[in-house]
Structures are given as structure tokens and as C-alpha cells.
Amino acid sequence: MKWTSVDLGNCSVLRALGVIGKPWAIAVLREVFNDVRRFEDFQQHLGVSRSVLSRRLNELVDDGLLDRTPYREDGGRERYEYRPTEKAWGLYPVMVGLMQWGDRYLADGDGPPVHLVDRRTGRPVITALVTDDSDVCAPSDIAMLPGPSLRTLPDGG
């Protein structure tokens, strides 16, 4: 199979980037993978305007990456929570791979902000190429621990 004879018109890599190649899409997915669910929490943590955030969340719902479900707190009006779909979780290894690479080549001198470990064994978790019969970690197996360059926000978020 000669690579330069391959028609790139249906390349899955570029199709994937067409959906999630925008930094803001990755930033929102990073939040939902870390259990952020509510509009106000996204807004405060990402520091974007309500209108921009609203548009971005809607776009990710339309792309099938977020599920929007209503909730209501005591006496309050109905609001919405955003949860990652199975399709979104399919990108979690890609995001961890980007993080690892950034940790290795672009982190500050004192090291990465966070580490991922397997809750069952305490071993570091990595994104890697493996055969499909390998023992893979589910997202629920993975814990995030503070790394040397973690900084927290002054008001505690």
C-alpha cells in the first residue's frame, strides 16, 4: 500500500479535527471530563461570556458530545446540566495524550500541573498504542493527583 496514492478525502484524522479541533471544544471537554456540569461553573472556570459559552455548549450538544438534562434546585427555576456522552468519552484518551505530550515538551520547569494514576494500583496512567486485547483503564479507574506546578485560584473557584 503506497501512502502517497491514498486519496485523503475521507481521512478520519481530519474529520475528527473538524469536530473537535478547536481549542475551546477541547477546553469544554476537559471541564466535563473533570465533572464540571453546570453553566455557572463552566463560566467561572473558563472565564468566557455567557453568550459565548452558551453558543459553544449548544454546538457540542449538536455534535453529540454533550447531553443536556434539566435540573431544579429547591425553589429555583429549571436549569440544565451538561454531561459528556459516550462519543465524548471516546476522546478522553486523545485528551490525555495531548496532556502528556504537553507535560513532556511544554510544561513549566517545575513539572506538570496534574498526574493521572490508576486507582486500583497507584501506577501512572498513560495514553499509548497497544493491541486491542490489552488491559485498559476506564475513566472511572483514573484519579487525578496534584502535580508540582498546580496552582489554585485565589477564591477557591
Restricting to residues 96-155, name those near a second copy by CB under 8 A.
96-108, 112-114, 118, 121, 123-137, 139, 142, 144-146, 149-153
How far apart are CB 95 and a second copy at their closest, in Å? 6
Long-range contacts of 23-32 (CB under 8 A, 24+ apart): 24/48, 24/56, 25/56, 25/59, 25/60, 25/65, 26/95, 26/98, 28/56, 28/57, 28/60, 28/66, 29/60, 29/65, 29/84, 29/88, 29/91, 29/95, 30/95, 32/66, 32/82, 32/83, 32/84, 32/88
51-90 residues in contact with a second copy (CB under 8 A) are 64, 87, 90
> Is 36 a binder of a second copy (CB under 8 A)?
yes
Segment near a second copy (CB under 8 A); pick from 6-14, 52-60, 68-76: 6-14
Residues binding a second copy: number (CB under 8 A): 86
